Amino acid sequence: ATFSRKRLFGYNAMVGSIVVISFLSFLVWVHHFFTMGNGTAVNSAFSITTMLISIPTGVKIFNWLFTMYKGRITFTTPMIWAIAFIPNFVIGGVTGVMLAMAAADYQYHNTYFLVSHFHYVLIAATVFACFAGFIYWYPLMFGHKLNERIGKWFFWFFMIGFNVCFFPQYFLGLDGMPRRIYTYSAEDGWTTLNFISSMGALLMAIGFLILAYNIGYSFFKSKREVSGDAWGHGRTLEWATTSAMPPFYNFAIEPEWNDHDDFYHKKETNTVPVYTEKDYKPIHMPKNTYFGMTISLFMFIGAFGLVFYWNGIAIAGLIGVFVCMIYRSFSTTKDDGYYVSVEEIVATENAIKAKQEAAAKGGEA
């Protein structure tokens, strides 16, 4: 939506699809075990739910496509990752429907066809989206954007390498190559496709090196982002504050918005509210606490005990978790936090405005 300059198409349908997928995701797990002898009724039931989950997923795919339709698309690095996600994820999804047919799964099971399928789902659906989000929100985290030119080199190396690596594995699976083998005979006829797959993995590795170089290069060379709206047309509230956020708070005054794209519309109509010093009020902040770290420590102890069947340690760890949670829940009167004073807010906001004005003058020069 941000780089299409359009409202997200079918917002309500997207939310409904996510809810349906969340529900069905608990009812598909047996599709990993169709060949275990569960019986016709069990396999049929989970085959149906596995196919059904493709319907709300398809709704989301078409909503993304219609969001881009007739939009003023800007092909930034986050956008090309998001666009690449769609066809690659569809490949993984369609082959997932093939695997959802229990009878056919007996032929695909434990072959490289399955390996290729879940990599198209996991990498195209998760890693591509993570790269898009990482690059998109990078300015908010670190105060500067990653270099776009180098970022696109990273994209092409990784995306091409991914497809060169995993697409041939569909054919290896259809040709009968099993999973979990450390070697194979040249007479099997799998050597060429496996070599191509290895070259794709090498391209992906080069892509990661380019990303690492880009992070270092951008740290020293990229322009500092002080406006907050690093991409120029952010639509949601996180872009209404400053990049590399203030140390004590996000907003000097809690914003009031009537729509999830309200910030974008107010920018377009020049109606973004401007506040003065008389509008500021002290901001209540929570105190730092060690309970988060303590709960995590007890959780680690409990989980460690469960993994190795050390029941005493597991019980002690879980008891520690619940004791800390209960104590923390009823200790609010002792830990009322603190307030950021109006004077400190004024000083912080003035410093931010000074940086923004200096950056604007530098840009004009």
| Domain coordinates in residue numbering, the chain | 237-282+340-364, 291-329
What is the pLDDT at residue 143? 85
Please write the tens of the pLDDT for every residue from 173-222: 999 999 988 888 888 899 999 999 999 999 999 999 999 999 999 999 98
For residue 332, pLDDT over 70 is answered with no
Residue 292, Cβ neighbours under 10 Å: how many?
A: 11
Tokens found for residue 256: 């009031």
Percent of the residues in the chain that have a pLDDT greater than 70, as a whole number: 96
Q: How far apart are CA 330 and CA 311, in angstroms?
A: 29
What is the pLDDT at residue 333? 58
Comparing CA positions, the residue from 12, 170, 3 lying closest to residue 88 is 170
Sequence-distant (≥ 6) Cβ neighbours of residue 263 within 8 angstroms: 234, 235, 236, 237, 239, 240, 257, 272
Please write the tens of the pLDDT for every residue from 56-88: 999 999 999 999 999 889 999 999 999 999 999
For residue 356, pLDDT over 80 is answered with no
Comparing CA positions, the residue from 276, 321, 144 lying closest to residue 223 is 144
Residue 143 CB-half CA count within 13 A: 12
Please write the tens of the pLDDT for every residue from 247-272: 678 888 888 777 778 888 787 778 77
Cα distances (angstroms) measured from residue 254 to each of 110, 262, 273, 279, 339: 55, 14, 11, 11, 15
Q: Are 237 and 174 in contact (CB under 8 A)?
A: no
For residue 364, pLDDT over 60 is answered with no
pTM score = 0.84
* Dihedral sign for Cα atoms in the order 249, 252, 256, 261: negative
Percent of the residues in the chain that have a pLDDT greater than 90, as a whole number: 55
What is the pLDDT at residue 365? 45
Q: What is the DSSP secondary structure assignment for residue 125, as one 8-state letter? A: I
